[in-house]
Chains A and B, each alone.
Chain A
C-alpha cells in the first residue's frame, strides 16, 4: 500500500489532501515590535497571516516560548488576543513577565519569530439584551477584555470599564478603553479602593446610575465571585474568561478542566475548548 504523505499545514504551501475544515493553525510569526508597557508587562505585536486572523474577542493563542540560556520552558503558554487587525496583518498580546516561559519570551527581539497556535476557544458573546455591559478587569485580565471593549463599541453598546491593579503604575490601556467610548474607572490596592466591599458599593451604584445589564470579567477569582453575588441579587447575567494550567491547549489532554454548575449537576469543562469564556454564574 503506497503511503499518502502528510501535508504539514501552514508550514508548506502544498494543498490539503482532503478538504476537511481546519480552524486552528500553527504558524511562525515575525515580531514587528516588542515593548515594555510598564515594569511588568510587555506588548508584543506580530506580523500574522490571514489564516490566524479570523479571531474573536476572548479567544487565545498558544505560544511556543523560546529556549534561552537562562530559561527552558517546555509547554506552550496560553495568551489572550489583545488585538488583531486583518488589514494590517497584525496580532498582539499583552503579557506579564512572570516565570520561565514569559521571561524567555521577553528576550525576543523585533525581527525574531514566534511560533503560535490559534486562534483557540470560545469567544465572548454579546447578547442582544446586553446593552450596557460592565467590564471588570483585574491585572492581566485587561488583555483579555480589550478586544471585547472594541467589539462592544462597534456594536454600539454603552460601555463601563473598571480596571483594577495593585498600584496606579500597573494600570494599563485605560486610554484604549476611553478611545472605545467607555466610561473608565480605575481602582488600585495602593489607593485602597479595590477591595470587594468598596467595589460592590461602586458597582451597585453603577447599576443604579448607568443601568448596567451585563458583567464581563477576567483575572480574579475573588472578583468573579463578587460579580456572581451582585449578578444573582440583581438578576444580571454575564460571562467570565477563566485561566487554568494547560498542556495541549486544544482540547486533547483534559489538563485544563474547571467545575461548572449545570441544571443536571456539576460538570468539568475544558477551559481551552469549552472556554476560556463561560457563563458567569456557572463557574464554580
Chain B
C-alpha cells in the first residue's frame, strides 16, 4: 500500500469526492492559488478551477455563512478554516445557522457541509493560535464532529464527511500533516461514529483522539515496562460518541484514562468521563482520569508549552496511578 502523509490523504479524499460529485467545492483562505496554507489543497485549483476551489478574503463568518447558504441550495461545500482558531469569529454561523437551519425549517433544508482545518496546539504559536475547538462544537445538537490521527482514517473519514448530509466539523492538526501511513489505492469509506482500537490491551483503557493518539500510544509503550497493557481507543468521531466501544473496553479493564489536546474544564473530555462513570459505574475500579492541557492560556515559550501539553510521561503517570501501580 502506498505511504501517504495525512495532508496527502486528505487531499486525495477531497480530490476523489470532487471528481465524483460536481456539487462538491472547496472554499477558504489561500486554498487556491497558494495551494493551501498547509498544502492540503495543493493542485486542486489547477485541476478544478476557480469555480470549485475558491479563495476567500479574510472573512470567516462571511464564508462560513456562504457555505451554509450554498449547502441549503444543494451544493456540498468543504469550508477550510486556515486553523480552527479563526472559526471563533464564525462561531455564530456554526452554532445558529449550520447546526440549526434544518431544525428551524422543519426539515425543509439539508446541510451537507464540512468545516475542516487544523485544530489545537502546534508548536510555539502562543495562546490565540493553540486552541482545541471540539469542546465547543461537540456540544451543538445538529452537527457531527470528527478528529483524525492517521492518513488512513483521514482519508476514509473525510470522504464520509463530504458525503454526509449533515454539517460535519472535521479536525486535523498542523503538526500531524506530515505523518505518514498506509492508504489503500482502492476507494474506501470509514463510517462516522465508530471508534478504532489502535492498540489492544486488558489493563487500562486509554481513550484519545487527534494529537492525543500518538501521546497515548507512547504512554502505553512506557507502561509496558510496568507490565501494564493499555487498550488505546482512538475515538475518531467525537459526536456522536461511540459509547459501545468505550464501554466494552472499560468493562474489561475497569479503568479509563483520557488523553487529549484541550482544556480541562468541561468539553469532550469531561463528557466522556461522565458517560463512563454513569454507564459503567459498577465496572470502575478507579476514577476516570484526564490528561490534557493544563488550565492555562498556552504560553509561547517552548519549555512552558511542553509542560502544558500532555506528554507521554504525564499520561503514563496517570495510567499507572489509576492502575494503582506505585509511581
Instruction: Answer yes or no: do A and B interact.
Output: no
Instruction: Please list the residues of chain B having a beta carbon within 8 angstroms of any beta carbon in chain A.
Output: none
